[in-house]
Amino acid sequence: MKKIRLLGDPVLRKKTKEVEIIDDNVKAFIKELFETMYQYDGVGLAAPQVGVSLRIFVMDDGTPRAFINPKIIYASPEKVVDEEGCLSIPGVFENVERSKEVIVRYIDENGQEREEKFIDRSARIVQHEYDHLEGRLFIDLLPAERRFALREKLLDIMRQSKAKSSRV
Protein backbone atom coordinates (compact mmCIF):
# COMPACT_ATOMS: atom_id res chain seq x y z
CA MET A 1 0.00 0.00 0.00
CA LYS A 2 1.17 3.50 -0.84
CA LYS A 3 0.78 6.71 1.19
CA ILE A 4 -1.74 9.23 -0.12
CA ARG A 5 -0.26 12.65 -0.89
CA LEU A 6 -2.27 15.53 0.51
CA LEU A 7 -3.20 18.95 -0.83
CA GLY A 8 -0.04 21.07 -0.80
CA ASP A 9 2.20 18.32 -2.15
CA PRO A 10 3.67 19.71 -5.42
CA VAL A 11 3.21 16.38 -7.27
CA LEU A 12 -0.57 16.97 -7.20
CA ARG A 13 -0.16 20.12 -9.29
CA LYS A 14 2.12 18.69 -12.00
CA LYS A 15 0.93 17.56 -15.40
CA THR A 16 1.87 13.88 -15.64
CA LYS A 17 4.09 12.07 -18.16
CA GLU A 18 2.88 9.43 -20.61
CA VAL A 19 3.67 5.81 -19.87
CA GLU A 20 6.17 4.61 -22.51
CA ILE A 21 5.94 0.84 -22.01
CA ILE A 22 3.64 -1.37 -20.02
CA ASP A 23 5.98 -3.74 -18.25
CA ASP A 24 5.87 -5.72 -15.00
CA ASN A 25 6.75 -2.58 -13.01
CA VAL A 26 3.74 -0.73 -14.41
CA LYS A 27 1.48 -3.73 -13.74
CA ALA A 28 2.78 -4.01 -10.16
CA PHE A 29 2.22 -0.27 -9.68
CA ILE A 30 -1.39 -0.61 -10.92
CA LYS A 31 -1.94 -3.44 -8.44
CA GLU A 32 -0.63 -1.16 -5.66
CA LEU A 33 -2.94 1.65 -6.81
CA PHE A 34 -5.95 -0.68 -6.52
CA GLU A 35 -4.82 -1.93 -3.09
CA THR A 36 -4.34 1.64 -1.85
CA MET A 37 -7.67 2.80 -3.28
CA TYR A 38 -9.52 -0.04 -1.56
CA GLN A 39 -7.60 0.46 1.71
CA TYR A 40 -8.79 4.09 1.81
CA ASP A 41 -12.35 3.21 0.64
CA GLY A 42 -11.94 5.21 -2.55
CA VAL A 43 -13.65 4.66 -5.92
CA GLY A 44 -10.73 6.05 -7.91
CA LEU A 45 -7.06 6.84 -7.45
CA ALA A 46 -4.56 8.55 -9.73
CA ALA A 47 -0.79 8.00 -9.79
CA PRO A 48 0.04 11.56 -8.58
CA GLN A 49 -1.95 10.89 -5.40
CA VAL A 50 0.74 8.40 -4.39
CA GLY A 51 3.60 10.60 -5.59
CA VAL A 52 4.09 9.19 -9.09
CA SER A 53 3.83 11.63 -12.00
CA LEU A 54 2.56 9.19 -14.64
CA ARG A 55 -0.65 9.14 -16.69
CA ILE A 56 -2.29 6.25 -14.85
CA PHE A 57 -5.42 6.02 -12.76
CA VAL A 58 -7.62 3.24 -11.47
CA MET A 59 -11.30 3.22 -10.61
CA ASP A 60 -13.95 0.81 -9.44
CA ASP A 61 -17.52 1.81 -10.23
CA GLY A 62 -18.57 -1.82 -9.90
CA THR A 63 -16.05 -2.84 -12.54
CA PRO A 64 -12.38 -2.35 -11.61
CA ARG A 65 -10.39 -0.74 -14.44
CA ALA A 66 -6.93 0.70 -14.97
CA PHE A 67 -6.45 3.61 -17.37
CA ILE A 68 -3.04 4.19 -18.91
CA ASN A 69 -2.47 7.36 -20.98
CA PRO A 70 -6.21 8.16 -21.00
CA LYS A 71 -7.64 10.87 -23.22
CA ILE A 72 -11.17 12.22 -22.86
CA ILE A 73 -12.26 12.45 -26.49
CA TYR A 74 -15.83 13.58 -25.79
CA ALA A 75 -17.50 15.37 -22.91
CA SER A 76 -21.22 16.00 -23.17
CA PRO A 77 -22.43 19.59 -23.03
CA GLU A 78 -25.07 18.37 -20.55
CA LYS A 79 -23.75 18.99 -17.03
CA VAL A 80 -24.67 17.46 -13.70
CA VAL A 81 -23.92 18.78 -10.22
CA ASP A 82 -23.13 16.25 -7.50
CA GLU A 83 -20.99 15.92 -4.41
CA GLU A 84 -17.33 14.97 -4.69
CA GLY A 85 -14.55 14.30 -2.25
CA CYS A 86 -10.91 13.36 -2.71
CA LEU A 87 -8.52 11.12 -0.81
CA SER A 88 -5.90 13.90 -1.15
CA ILE A 89 -8.27 16.45 0.44
CA PRO A 90 -9.72 14.47 3.36
CA GLY A 91 -12.93 15.66 4.98
CA VAL A 92 -13.87 18.08 2.18
CA PHE A 93 -17.01 17.26 0.19
CA GLU A 94 -18.46 19.80 -2.23
CA ASN A 95 -20.90 19.96 -5.12
CA VAL A 96 -19.08 20.06 -8.45
CA GLU A 97 -20.42 20.47 -11.98
CA ARG A 98 -19.19 17.85 -14.48
CA SER A 99 -20.25 16.53 -17.88
CA LYS A 100 -22.98 13.91 -17.59
CA GLU A 101 -21.22 11.68 -20.12
CA VAL A 102 -17.68 11.20 -21.40
CA ILE A 103 -15.92 8.96 -23.88
CA VAL A 104 -12.37 7.96 -22.98
CA ARG A 105 -9.67 6.38 -25.10
CA TYR A 106 -7.08 4.57 -22.99
CA ILE A 107 -4.78 1.59 -22.76
CA ASP A 108 -5.58 -1.10 -20.20
CA GLU A 109 -2.98 -2.93 -18.09
CA ASN A 110 -2.73 -5.65 -20.78
CA GLY A 111 -1.68 -3.09 -23.40
CA GLN A 112 -5.04 -3.14 -25.20
CA GLU A 113 -6.31 0.17 -26.56
CA ARG A 114 -9.90 0.79 -25.50
CA GLU A 115 -12.57 3.39 -26.05
CA GLU A 116 -15.38 3.48 -23.55
CA LYS A 117 -18.40 5.64 -22.74
CA PHE A 118 -19.12 6.55 -19.12
CA ILE A 119 -22.34 8.09 -17.80
CA ASP A 120 -23.37 9.76 -14.53
CA ARG A 121 -21.37 8.56 -11.48
CA SER A 122 -18.84 6.65 -13.61
CA ALA A 123 -18.31 9.72 -15.82
CA ARG A 124 -17.77 11.83 -12.70
CA ILE A 125 -15.11 9.42 -11.37
CA VAL A 126 -13.31 9.37 -14.72
CA GLN A 127 -13.29 13.18 -14.95
CA HIS A 128 -12.12 13.57 -11.35
CA GLU A 129 -9.21 11.13 -11.79
CA TYR A 130 -8.35 12.52 -15.24
CA ASP A 131 -8.07 15.99 -13.67
CA HIS A 132 -5.41 14.60 -11.30
CA LEU A 133 -3.32 13.68 -14.35
CA GLU A 134 -3.59 17.29 -15.53
CA GLY A 135 -2.56 18.73 -12.15
CA ARG A 136 -6.12 19.86 -11.33
CA LEU A 137 -8.09 19.16 -8.15
CA PHE A 138 -11.85 19.20 -7.71
CA ILE A 139 -11.60 22.27 -5.50
CA ASP A 140 -10.31 24.18 -8.55
CA LEU A 141 -13.79 23.80 -10.06
CA LEU A 142 -15.54 25.42 -7.11
CA PRO A 143 -16.74 29.01 -7.23
CA ALA A 144 -14.32 31.45 -5.57
CA GLU A 145 -16.68 32.06 -2.63
CA ARG A 146 -16.82 28.30 -1.82
CA ARG A 147 -13.01 28.03 -1.98
CA PHE A 148 -12.79 31.05 0.31
CA ALA A 149 -15.26 29.47 2.74
CA LEU A 150 -13.09 26.33 2.79
CA ARG A 151 -9.84 28.28 3.15
CA GLU A 152 -9.08 27.33 6.78
CA LYS A 153 -9.89 23.67 6.24
CA LEU A 154 -7.69 23.57 3.11
CA LEU A 155 -4.84 25.33 4.92
CA ASP A 156 -5.07 22.74 7.72
CA ILE A 157 -4.74 19.92 5.16
CA MET A 158 -1.76 21.70 3.59
CA ARG A 159 -0.14 22.01 7.03
CA GLN A 160 -0.68 18.25 7.59
CA SER A 161 0.86 17.59 4.18
CA LYS A 162 3.91 19.70 4.98
CA ALA A 163 4.32 18.04 8.40
CA LYS A 164 4.12 14.58 6.79
CA SER A 165 6.68 15.41 4.10
CA SER A 166 9.12 16.87 6.63
CA ARG A 167 8.97 13.61 8.63
CA VAL A 168 9.93 11.48 5.63
Q: Please identify, in words, the CATH class of the domain defined by 10-167.
A: alpha beta
Q: How far is CA 44 from CA 15, 26, 78, 105, 144, in A?
A: 18, 17, 23, 17, 26
Nearest residue to 130 (alpha-carbon basis) of 64, 75, 79, 56 = 56
- Per-residue pLDDT of 28-63, as tens digits, reads 999 999 999 999 999 999 999 999 999 999 999 999
Nearest residue to 91 (alpha-carbon basis) of 45, 27, 28, 155 = 155
Q: Which residues are annotated as a binding site for Fe cation?
A: 86, 128, 132
- Per-residue pLDDT of 76-116, as tens digits, reads 999 999 999 999 999 999 999 999 999 999 999 999 999 99
Query: Active site includes 129?
Result: yes
Q: Where are the domains of the chain?
A: 10-167
Instruction: Single out the catalytic residue among 32, 35, 129, 152.
Output: 129
One-letter amino acid of 119: I
What is the pTM assigned to this prediction? 0.94
Q: How far is CA 13 from CA 2, 50, 131, in A?
A: 19, 13, 10
